Amino acid sequence: MMKRSKRLLGVGLLALAALAVGSAVASAHLLYQNGQFAHQHTSVHWFLNEANSAPDSYSNTRAAQIDWHNKTRRDLSSTSNHDTSYIHVVDRHYGETGWVGIGEYCYHCGHLHTRLNLTYSAGNSQTVACQEIGHNLGEDHHAGDCMGYSYFSDWSPFVGSHSVQDLDSAYASYGH
């Protein structure tokens, strides 16, 4: 679990670094308290949804995208431009890899990937998309919302207050 945390922290820090460098609307002077300015977006994480290999993948990924967009100060506006996208979601049959979804930094393409594994598809694709987008934003696993899926008995398909507070606190500390 420690290694995983480090990896997630690494992805999160990469995300934050990318924000610091590339966000056109980031406001470096703003330091918010947790959740104080929820819904007031301060930076855009252009979101490319190419989860279209299964009937429900696109719509469930879209639902997860909107959930993060609406509940946190992260702006996950949609884009169709691969080169400028910040989070790129794809789905396919990856085989019995041990994971239903994975959030990773793609070094050669310079943005974050969310991969949804259709081999294990079991009707929770919105939850999985929600969790992997959360990883892309720097969240680790925790109980109470989609970040707890497959790790804790207490989970839901949606973004919860724990994640909102985590993100607002983390990004605020970086001045975004």
Report the interface residues with other proteins, using CB under 8 A.
3-4, 7, 94-102, 104, 115, 117, 119-120, 122, 127-128, 131-132, 141, 149-151
Closest CB to other proteins among residues 39, 93 = 93
Distances from the Cα of 38 to the Cαs of 41, 42, 84, 168, in angstroms?
Answer: 8, 10, 25, 8
DSSP 78: B
**Of the two residues 32 and 94, which places its CB atom closer to other proteins in the complex?**
94
Q: Closer to other proteins at the Cβ: 32 or 120?
A: 120
Residue 151 Cβ vs other proteins, minimum distance, rounded to whole Å? 7
Whole-angstrom Cα distance, residue 65 to residue 61? Answer: 6
- Shortest reach from residue 52's CB to other proteins, in Å: 20
Q: Taking the complex as a whole, how short is the minimal distance between the CB of residue 93 and other proteins, in angstroms?
A: 9
Q: Report the distance separating Cα 174 and Cα 176, nearest Å.
A: 6
DSSP state of 118: G
17 to 20, 94, 132, 137, 138: CA distances (angstroms) = 5, 29, 19, 12, 11
CA distance 23 to 41: 12
By beta-carbon proximity to other proteins, the closer residue of 43 and 61 is 61
Q: Which is nearer to other proteins, 37 or 151 (CB)?
A: 151
**Alpha carbons within 13 A on the beta-carbon side of 89:** 35
- Nearest distance, CB of residue 119 and other proteins, angstroms: 6
CB of 41 to other proteins, least distance (A): 26
Q: Which two tokens stand for residue 105?
A: 């930094």
